[in-house]
Structure 1
């Protein structure tokens, strides 16, 4: 499934994209809250859906700009997520370097109004033959201009 990213003027989101995600019963901990490890999975799945929807990474996500690794993942938990079903991940680019990219995110309600967790995720693009850092394509630079967070 490649969801179409949507901006959500109704929720006040005026930058980035809001990607639908689904929380399932088996992702909850014994207290019926989304297990802390599942937040990163939701964020990764949202980025993957968005990336492939933009024509990057190929079918397997391992070609071109899709061949990258996570350098850091930071998260702050704001509210417990206790509801099953449809939610969203709000994604945007914070900084794009020559070989790395830092993205901001919020795990939120489907309408983007309630934030359960937020943070940043930094990835480094690699050359698939040497595993050395390599430059992003012009397409990634274009995406960064489109979904980048406005600077104050």
Structure 2
């Protein structure tokens, strides 16, 4: 018997009271932050913190080019949720993430979407090639 394994990683993120809107559901703008927090935690835990004091800072100088999301089921409570993310593509200068925001028990998909990031040179702010070390680190997330 085989079991399908989902590509990517699921990072647990907390929803706080101040993330909810006036109707008591997670504000639509907070989904961007949930993904950002999940990605930051994932990469930091693997030795890639977004810290200008680190020697590899220029290697991970990415900006968001595109963010698209589809909302399915509102989140109406505080507490933990799962952010499942993976890489659909690693290009010359860009990363294309897919993601899903899941209930804590992983049974409900609250939202899903994609995020495109472009590696830029910190001095010129122009697109720059993604280095081999970053490509190697990304390999485990590829779908």
Deviations 1:27-80 (A, max 9, x none): 111111100000001111111111212222443588133211100000000100
Root mean square deviation, CA, Å: 2.0
| Residue 33 in structure 1 maps to residue 21 in structure 2 | no
Query: In structure 1, how many angstroms separate the alpha carbons of the residues matched to 2:131 and 2:37?
Result: 21
Deviation at 1:16, TM superposition (A): 0.6
Query: In structure 2, how many angstroms separate the alpha carbons of the residues matched to 1:141 and 1:111?
Result: 31
| Residue 52 in structure 1 maps to residue 44 in structure 2 | yes
Q: Are the counterparts in 1 of residues 100 and 111 from structure 2 also a CA contact under 8 Å?
A: yes
Unaligned runs of 5+ in 1: 1-9
Q: Are the counterparts in 2 of residues 57 and 64 from structure 1 also a CA contact under 8 Å?
A: no
Q: Are the counterparts in 2 of residues 108 and 117 from structure 1 also a CA contact under 8 Å?
A: yes
2:116 corresponding residue in structure 1: 122
Deviation at 1:115, TM superposition (A): 0.8
Structure 1's consecutive aligned runs of 4 or more residues displaced over 3 angstroms after TM superposition are: 57-62
Unaligned runs of 5+ in 2: none
Query: In structure 2, how many angstroms separate the alpha carbons of the residues matched to 1:26 and 1:40?
Result: 15
Q: Structure 1's 109 and 37: CA in aligned 2 closer, same or farther, altered over 3 A?
A: same
Question: Rg larger in 1 or in 2?
Answer: 2
Give the alignment's TM-score, normalised by structure 2.
Answer: 0.88
Aligned residues: 139
Q: Structure 1's 105 and 65: CA in aligned 2 closer, same or farther, altered over 3 A?
A: farther
Deviation at 1:13, TM superposition (A): 5.1
SS in structure 2 at match of 1:73? strand
Q: Are the counterparts in 1 of residues 93 and 127 from structure 2 also a CA contact under 8 Å?
A: yes
Matches within 5 A, 1:65-84: 65-84=59-78
SS in structure 1 at match of 2:66? strand
Q: 71-80 or 24-33, which moves further after superposition? A: 24-33
